[in-house]
Amino acid sequence: MKFLTALLLLIAPLHAEAPKIFKGLLEKDVPVKASIGIVVPPPEIEKYIAKVEASAKKNKEWFVEYTKASKPGAPLPFHENLGLTKEEYDDYLALWAKRDFKSAEEVVLVLRETFGKTWSITATGEAGIISTLRYDPEKAVFRSPNGEMKRLEDIKTEATSILGAWSGHEWRLEEETGLGKIKENFALGRYDDKEYGLLVYRVQEISAEGSRLLDKSLVLRFPLGKAGHLPTPPNPPKPR
């Protein structure tokens, strides 16, 4: 009888509500279409990038320090040492504002409740790597095969950042052993215009000798609400 009771508990349907971090982004067991892509500015911007790179070679130490003091993922503030005139810099910003998200692969995301009171985002195609992550709402952490990813400060970016203006949550794992270093990041949120959701994932592994063993990055954009919902496959007919 005890064995039967335990078995029934294992096969009992899961019915918990989705954690708050997924609210307004993904609904439980609802397939959502998503795109893996990259953000690309107009090709005309390349002439200015080439000038900045050439100037950086002439002023290496200054450029390194100036970059450190600037916001990551956004254009550097104007300075004469960048090798651009003020007019060229303004044109560079205008071109940067026209950057666009280019889709490389269409995939499907499904938020699922898993055993052990955890949650996962099942993904198809190249995004399948995130299917191994498990969210524990009690500890507010994600777990990956590499270990536990701890919650960081919430994300709030400006329109000039490479991905545009968006806000969300982020988790990170950093571990160093005698075999090497592992760094893993996961972020989930939405654009400020609330039209699209955003999922960003990156994992890096470097050997003790300094060789790069793994470096995989994913940026996924998905329509919010019913605009992104895909038809749910019908349940198979019950056997007679």
Q: How many CB atoms lie within 10 A of CB 63?
A: 19
Residues 144 and 221 in one domain: yes
What pLDDT score does 15 carry? 59
CB contact at 8 A, 117 and 15: no
What pLDDT score does 185 carry? 97
Sequence-distant (≥ 6) Cβ neighbours of residue 158 within 8 angstroms: 71, 74, 165
Residue 75 located in a structural domain: yes
Which residue segment(s) compose the domain that 128 sits in?
Answer: 20-39+102-228
Residues 119 and 29 in one domain: yes
Residue 166 located in a structural domain: yes
pLDDT band at residue 16 using 50, 70 and 90 as cut-offs: confident
**Bigger pLDDT: 35 or 70?**
35
Residue 240 located in a structural domain: no
Residues 35 and 46 in one domain: no
Residue 122 located in a structural domain: yes
pLDDT at 86 over 80: yes
pLDDT at 239 over 60: no
Instruction: Point out the domain boundary residue: 98, 121, 140.
Output: 98
Residues 53 and 132 in one domain: no
**Bigger pLDDT: 111 or 6?**
111
pTM for the whole thing? 0.83
pLDDT at 129 over 70: yes
Residues 112 and 207 in one domain: yes
What pLDDT score does 233 carry? 59
How many angstroms separate the CA atoms of 56 and 38, rounded?
25
How many angstroms separate the CA atoms of 56 and 71, rounded?
17
What pLDDT score does 14 carry? 53
Residue 173 located in a structural domain: yes
